[in-house]
Amino acid sequence: MSAWLIAANDWRRHAVQPFAWALAAVVLALMAWQFLVALGAYLQLAPKLGALPNAPGVTDLVAIPLLRSFSNLLLLIVPLLTMRAFAGERQLRTLPLLLAAGAGDTRIVLGKFFGVLPLALALVVLVAAMPLSLASGTSLDLGKLAAATLGMAVYAAALVAIGVACSAWVAQPALAAGLAVAIGGALSVLDLGARFEGIGNSAINWFALPTHLEPFLRGIVASVDIGYFVLICAVALALTVRRLHHLRQVP
C-alpha cells in the first residue's frame, strides 16, 4: 500500500463525512464576513488615502489583515482536521488493520499527512481568492498577495504535521486536537515574553511561528523562513514515524 493510496482513502473519507464540509462552510463564512467588513472600511477611507503620499492600498488594508487573521484561525481549524488521523483509527480499532496492510511506517505517516494537507491548502486558496477578486477593479499588489499565500501554505503544512503527530501520540481525537492547539499556540506566543523584555533576535524569537510567517505577509520570501516550516514538518513527521513504530511493538 502506497502513501498516495492512504491519502486518497482519507480524502474520500473526508468527502463523505459532513464534518469537514461544515467546518469549511463556517470558516469561509467567517472570513467572508471579515473581508466584507474590511472592504467597507477601506472604501470609506479611500478618498482620504488618495490625498496622502505613499498611502497603504487595498493589499495592506484588506488582503494582508485578512490572511493574518486567518493564520490565527488555522491554529484551531487544522487540529480539528487532523485529530482523527491516527487517534480516530485507534478509537475505531482499525489501526492494526492499517499497520498490517503492508505499508511501512513512513509511508503511512506521509499518507496521513497528505490526506489532510489538501484540505488545509484548499481553505488557504479560497480565503486568498477573496481579496484576489478585487484585482480587476483595484491596484492589488499581486506579488505581495502571492508571497503571503505561499507563506500561509507552508504555515498550514507545519500545523498539519504537528496535528498528525499529536494524533499519533494521543489515543483520543479530542485530546489530540487539544494538544495540537496547545503546541501551535505555544509556538505562536513563544517570543512574546522575549519581545516584552526588548529581545528581538534571540533563539526563542527564531523558534516562534509568527517570526517566519510575518516576512511572507510583508511580501518577502526568504529561504530561511521556508526552511523553518520544512524543519517543523520534518521533525513532527519523524516523531510520528517513531510513535507508529512503537505502536507496532505493542501487542
Give the tens place of pLDDT for each residue, 195-229. Answer: 665 555 666 777 889 889 999 999 999 999 999 99
Q: Which residue has the cell 511506517?
A: 105
What is the pLDDT averaged over residues 221-242?
A: 95
Q: Which residue has the cell 520570501?
A: 221
Q: Which of 49-53, 64-68, 112-116, 218-222 has the lowest mean pLDDT?
A: 49-53
Copy the grid coordinates of residue 141. 499588489
**Residue ranges in 170-208 assigned as alpha helix (H):** 173-189, 192-196, 203-206
H helix or E strand, kind and range, residue 213 = helix 209-217
pLDDT for residue 46? 74
Smallest CA-to-CA distance from 66 within 187, 186, 148 is with 148
pLDDT for residue 42? 85
pLDDT for residue 144? 93
What is the pLDDT averaged over residues 185-189?
A: 88
Residue 67 Cα distances to 63, 115, 235, angstroms? 6, 23, 26
**Could you tell me which residue, 47 or 179, shows the higher pLDDT?**
179
Q: Which amino acid is at 52?
A: L
Question: How many C-beta atoms surround the C-beta of residue 26 within 10 A?
Answer: 11
Residue pair 60/143 in contact (Cβ under 8 Å)? The answer is no
3-state secondary structure of 92: coil
Largest CA distance in the chain: 73
